[in-house]
């Protein structure tokens, strides 16, 4: 089973609750997530992935738990990431993965259905986050 870190990066203003998301030029709309390295704890991987994919910095990370029901053969680990401000509503971030991609980053409401274009696993992940928070 593959371990996946998923930061629950909630916008600082708190109302409405919003989490970080991005549009990958080849893979479409996503919430932040990525593999846990052998030498990492899931909370460390979540903070790293958040920075790599959005440029957002984590000031504190609290592990929330995991789910084996998001994607088959994957264990998703969820970590609440307290962010450093200030935060913008939309921004671009150059992600170094796969030779470099310019990602369009934005916030999506945590307590509403995801906009059209997100894959079903992200709906399952948001459902888990809502229940945990």
pLDDT tens for residues 81-107?
999 888 999 999 998 877 788 999 999
Predicted pLDDT of residue 123 = 96
Tell me, what's the pLDDT at 3? Answer: 98
Q: According to the model, what pLDDT value does residue 96 have?
A: 84
Name the pTM for this structure.
0.94
- Give me the mean pLDDT over the 42-57 stretch: 96
Burial class (CB in 10 A: 0-12, 13-18, 19+), 93: middle
Q: Where are the beta strands (DSSP E) in 1-133?
A: 2-9, 18-24, 28-31, 34-35, 58-67, 74-83, 90-95, 101-109
CATH code at 2-132: 3.90.79.10
Measured between alpha carbons, how far is 38 from 47 in angstroms, rounded to an integer?
15
pLDDT score of 110: 93
Cα dist from 87 to 12, 20, 29, 127, whole Å: 8, 11, 20, 24
Is residue 81 within 8 Å of residue 58, measured between CB atoms? yes
Closest listed residue to residue 85, CA positions, set 8, 7, 9, 5:
9
Give the residue among 52, 24, 47, 41 at the shortest CA–CA distance from 117.
Answer: 24
Which H or E run includes 127? helix 120-132
Higher pLDDT, 14 or 92: 92
Sign of CA dihedral 84, 86, 91, 92: negative
């Amino acid at each position: 089973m593959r371990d996946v870190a998923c930061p629950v990066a909630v916008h600082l203003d708190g109302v409405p609750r919003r989490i970080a998301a991005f549009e990958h030029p080849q893979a479409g709309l996503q919430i932040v997530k990525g593999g846990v390295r052998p030498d990492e704890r899931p909370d460390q991987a979540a903070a790293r992935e958040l920075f790599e994919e959005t440029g957002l910095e984590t000031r504190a990370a609290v592990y929330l738990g995991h789910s084996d029901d998001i994607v088959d053969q994957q264990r998703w680990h969820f970590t609440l990431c307290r962010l450093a401000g200030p935060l913008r509503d939309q921004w671009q971030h150059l992600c170094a993965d796969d030779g470099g991609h310019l990602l369009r980053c934005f916030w999506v409401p945590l307590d509403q259905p995801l906009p059209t274009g997100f894959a079903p696993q992200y709906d399952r992940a948001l459902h888990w986050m809502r229940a945990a928070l």
